[in-house]
Amino acid sequence: MKTVSENRAFGGVQGVYTHASDVCGGDMTFGLFLPEEAEQGAVPLVWYLSGLTCTHENAMVKAGAQRWAADHGLALVFPDTSPRGPGVADDPAYDLGQGAGFYVNATEAPWAPHFRMWDYVTEELPRVLFNAFPLDEERQSITGHSMGGHGALTIAMSLPGRFRSVSAFAPIANPTQSDWGRKQLTAYLGADTAKWAAHDATLLMKKRGFDGPMLIDQGASDQFIDLLRPEALAEAIAAHRQGAVFRMQKGYDHSYFFVATFMEHHMGFHAAALNV
């Protein structure tokens, strides 16, 4: 692992690191904020998964999460959204290819050799983090924005017991029924729609739900709301009788201004679930 940068922030350290990824077949980059408490021992970890077009850097510099994480003694990890570099497949569209990994393991050409973001986020990157940094593996939570909200919800529901809590900002909530989903799931997983169900938060909610607290914020003036389909997830939450808070925030759009506005609430929500 190589240290790209480390900066003092809110009493802790905001670092950026690269490492060789066997899963993705190349170097991957992630950001990690460690609070001051990490100098004394292992601290709880919150995962932040980013959305379309983002790298590790977008949330790291725009979401304002470090301030609130530091208040609660939480570490924050910001993975990249896809593999990158020479030899990695890409597409001219912003919503497919590099920057748009959708947190799945691709099985189709030309994506399959590198686009294994599910395994990267759920298996490989955790091994890197817990081997190298003072993090408490027994206390983890997860959140994300847009495509990253989709990833956070599907991963949390698919790995019972891994995460104490899950939250999302404007998640792609029902991708099997949206143009933000059908295009990418076809490209990465093929035309068999039965293979898509494991990556749809609405379908997973109907099937199994989440074994912990859930918080979702959606901007009522989100310019992409028809693609996100929050109403489908809200209906599934009610039908499953899931313990959840689903908030439609009047006047807010899809931007990081929206994310930053409610980040304090999300960090406090996860801190409570992580007993800090």
Active site residues: 146, 222, 254
Nearest of 203, 152, 194 to residue 175 by alpha carbon: 203
**Residue 241: is it exposed, middle or buried by C-beta count within 10 angstroms (0-12/13-18/19+)?**
exposed
**Measured distance CA(22)–CA(242) in Å, rounded:** 37
The tokens describing 165, both together, are 């809590």
Question: Packing angle between helix 65-72 and helix 256-273, nearest 10 degrees?
Answer: 10
Nearest of 174, 163, 172, 119 to residue 139 by alpha carbon: 163
Can you give the length of the chain in residues? 276
**Measured distance CA(8)–CA(232) in Å, rounded:** 42
What sign results for the dihedral spanned by CA atoms 137, 141, 143, 147? positive
Residue with tokens 């693609």: 227
Nearest of 190, 261, 191, 200 to residue 229 by alpha carbon: 200
The tokens describing 86, both together, are 């020479």
DSSP characters for 205-230?
HHHT--SS-EEEEEETT-TTHHHH-H
- What is the residue type of 34? L
**Measured distance CA(145)–CA(45) in Å, rounded:** 17
